[in-house]
Amino acid sequence: MAPFTIAVSSCALFRQDNSPGVAFPLIKALKMVNQRLREMDPAVEEPFKIVVIATFTNMDDLKKRIDHYNLKIEIVGLKKTILEHLKAIKPVLFLSKNEQNVREAIGAGYGAATMIQTDYDEYSDEELRVAFDGDGVLFSDESEKVTAEKGLEAF
């Protein structure tokens, strides 16, 4: 089975001050899933492939950040447009803080999401939880009703 490829912009992965960015906890959790599956079966192909599209001008700085957190992920430089990189990478999902890049990716047929920085910082290294919300367009609005009536924990 081919890996689930996720492209992430470097500005979503790291903040300007070198600290982890809004996409960092998700990327770290996906790398942890890969690691745990490898521990159970060394022959298993990693289900998640992460590719960082460098939006910084300093590639060495980005490589240092990635090495510092031991992420071991592929980096592509921003010598092409975001869409040209996505065409080459063929990701299932593109994550960025840049809303315009996300719109362009969606317009070109890629799954994409704008990552918004929050103050929430209680992330787990032990579990990965993902919730998809199609805003009642792609899916029914049942999850929206549950969240509105009973809160996110009930969802």
Which residues, at least 6 apart from 152, have a Cβ–Cβ distance to it below 8 Å? none
User: How many percent of the chain have pLDDT more than 90?
Assistant: 43
Q: What is the pTM of this model?
A: 0.79
Burial (Cβ within 10 Å: 0-12, 13-18, ≥19) of residue 7:
buried
Beta strand spans in 58-109 (E):
74-76, 93-96
Q: What does the alpha-carbon distance between residue 9 and residue 11 come to, in Å, rounded to a whole number?
A: 5
The CA distances from residue 18 to 6, 7, 94, 106, 118, in Å, are 21, 19, 21, 28, 17
**Ranked by mean pLDDT, which of 33-47, 88-102, 107-121, 141-155 comes out on top?**
88-102
41 is catalytic: no
Look over the chain and give the mean of its residue pLDDT values, rounded to a whole number: 84
Annotation: CATH topology of 4-123: Rossmann fold (3.40.50)
Q: Which residue, among 118, 71, 113, has the nearest Cα to 92 in the 3D structure?
A: 113
Of 125, 133, 135, 141, the active-site residue reads 133
Over residues 110-121, the pLDDT tens digits come to: 999 999 877 766
Residue ranges covered by each domain of the chain: 4-123, 129-155
Tokens of 36: 């745990």
pLDDT beyond 70 at 91: yes
